[in-house]
Structure 1
Amino acid sequence: MLKSISDFQLSLSRRRFSPPAVLATVYAVFILLGAIVLRLPFSNTGDVTFEDALFTAASAVTVTGLIVVDTGSDYTLIGQIVIALLIQIGGLGLMTFAALLLSMLGMQFGLPQRLVLRDELGQTSLRDLGQLVRLVIIVALICEAIGTAFLMTVFVPEFGWTHGFWQALFHAISAFNNAGFSLFSDSLVGYVGDPIVNITITVLFMIGGLGFVVLADLYQKRRWQTLSLHSKLMLSGSLVLIVWGWVMVAALEWNNPGTLGALDSTGDRLLASWFQAVTPRTAGFNTLDYAQMETSTTLMTITMMLVGGGPSSTAGGIKVTTLIVLCLATLAFFRREDRLTIFGRSLGIEEIIKVLALTSLSLFLVLMGLFIASLTYTGDFLDLLFEVTSAFGTVGLSRGATGELDSVGRAIIMVIMFVGRLGPLTLGFFLAQKSKARVKYPDGKVFLG
Structure 2
Amino acid sequence: MFSSYKSLSVTQRLSFSFLIVILIGTFLLSLPITHYAHAPETHLLDHLFNVVSMVCVTGLSVVPVADVYNGLGQVIIMCLMQIGGLGLVTLIAISMFALRKRIDISEQTLLQSALSRPDSGNLRHYLFHVYKFTFIIEIIAALVLMFDFIPRFGWGHGIFNSIFLAISAFCNAGFDNLGSESLKGFVLNPLVNLVIIGLIISGGLGFAVWIDLAHTVKRYFNQKPRHFSSAIRPLSNQTRLVLYTSGFILLSGTILTWLTEIGNTKTIGDLNPLQQLMVSLFQTVTMRTAGFASISYLDTRPATNILYMLQMLVGGAPGGTAGGIKVTTAAITYLLFKSELAGQSEVTFRNRIISSKTIQQTLTVLIFYFTILFTGYILLLQVEPGLDPMSLIFESISAIATVGVSMDLTPQLSTAGRIIIIVMMFVGRVGPITVLLSLLQRKRKDIHYAPTDISVG
2:239 corresponds in structure 1 to 231
| Distance in structure 2 (CA, Å) of the matches to 1:58 and 1:114 | 26
- 1:188 is the counterpart of 2:183: yes
Secondary structure of 1:260 counterpart: coil
* 2:381 maps to 1:374: yes
In structure 2, what is the equivalent of residue 349 of structure 1?
356
CA offset digits 1:81-116 (Å, max 9, x no partner): 111100001101111111111222233322222221
Q: Deviations over 1:209-260 (max 9, x none)?
A: 0001111111123332110000000011100000000000000011112211
Match of 1:3 in 2: none
Q: Does 1:204 align with 2:212?
A: no
- The one-character-per-residue Cα deviations of 1:44-80 (angstroms, maximum 9, x if unpaired) are 2352211111111100100001000011111111111
The letter for the 2-side match of 1:194 is: N
Deviation by residue 1:370-397 (Cα, 9 ceiling, x = unmatched): 0111111121111110111011111111
Measure, in 2, the Cα distance between the counterparts of 1:429 and 1:124: 17
Q: Which moved more, 1:222-231 or 1:188-197?
A: 222-231
Q: Per-residue deviation at 1:349? A: 1.2
**How many angstroms apart in 2 are the aligned matches of 1:268 and 1:291?**
20
What is the TM-score normalised by the length of structure 1?
A: 0.95
Q: How does 1:37-436 map to 2 (within 5 A)?
A: 37-45=28-36, 46=39, 47-184=41-178, 185-222=180-217, 223-261=231-269, 263-377=270-384, 378-432=386-440, 433-436=442-445
C-alpha contact 1:62 1:421 (8 A) present in aligned 2? yes
The one of 441, 444, 447 aligned to 2:452: 444
- Secondary structure of 2:383 counterpart: coil
Q: Which runs of 5+ in 1 are unaligned?
A: 1-6
Could you tell me how far apart the structure 1 residues matched to 2:232 and 2:87 are? 28
The SS at the match of 1:389 is helix
1:188-213 Cα deviation digits (max 9, x unpaired): 11011111000000001101000011
Paired residues of 2:97 and 2:124 also in contact (CA < 8 A): no
Shift in CA distance, 437/111, structure 1 to aligned 2, threshold 3 Å: closer
User: How much has 1:286 moved relative to structure 2?
Assistant: 1.4
Shift of 1:431: 2.3
CA distance in 1 between counterparts of 2:327 and 2:402 reads 15
AA paired with 1:289? S
Does the aligned pair in 2 maintain the 1:224–1:232 contact within 8 Å? no
Q: CA deviation at 1:445?
A: 2.9
Q: Which moved more, 1:46-55 or 1:162-171?
A: 46-55
Q: For residues 449 and 167 of structure 2, what CA distance do their matches in structure 1 show?
A: 55
Structure 2 gap segments, 5+ residues each: 218-230
Count of residues in correspondence between the two structures: 438
TM-score, length-normalised on structure 2? Answer: 0.93
Give the Cα separation in 2 of the matches to 1:368 and 1:131: 41
AA matched with 2:383: T
Distance 2:244 2:403 in 1: 22
Output the CA distance in 1 between the equivalents of 2:131 and 2:387. Answer: 42
Aligned CA RMSD, in angstroms, stands at 1.4
- Contact 1:65–1:396 (CA under 8 A) maintained in structure 2: yes
Q: Which amino acid aligns with 1:12?
A: Y
1:12 maps to 5
Residue type of the partner of 2:250?
A: I
Q: Which moved more, 1:169-178 or 1:111-120?
A: 111-120
Q: Which residue of 1 aligns with 2:226?
A: none
Q: State the match for 2:223 in structure 1.
A: none
Using the TM superposition, name which of 217-226 and 245-254 deviates more: 217-226
CA contact (8 A) 2:15 2:438 kept: no
Instruction: Say whether 1:23 aligns with 2:11.
Output: no
Q: CA deviation at 1:436?
A: 2.5
Conservation of the 8 A alpha-carbon contact between 2:53 and 2:61 = yes
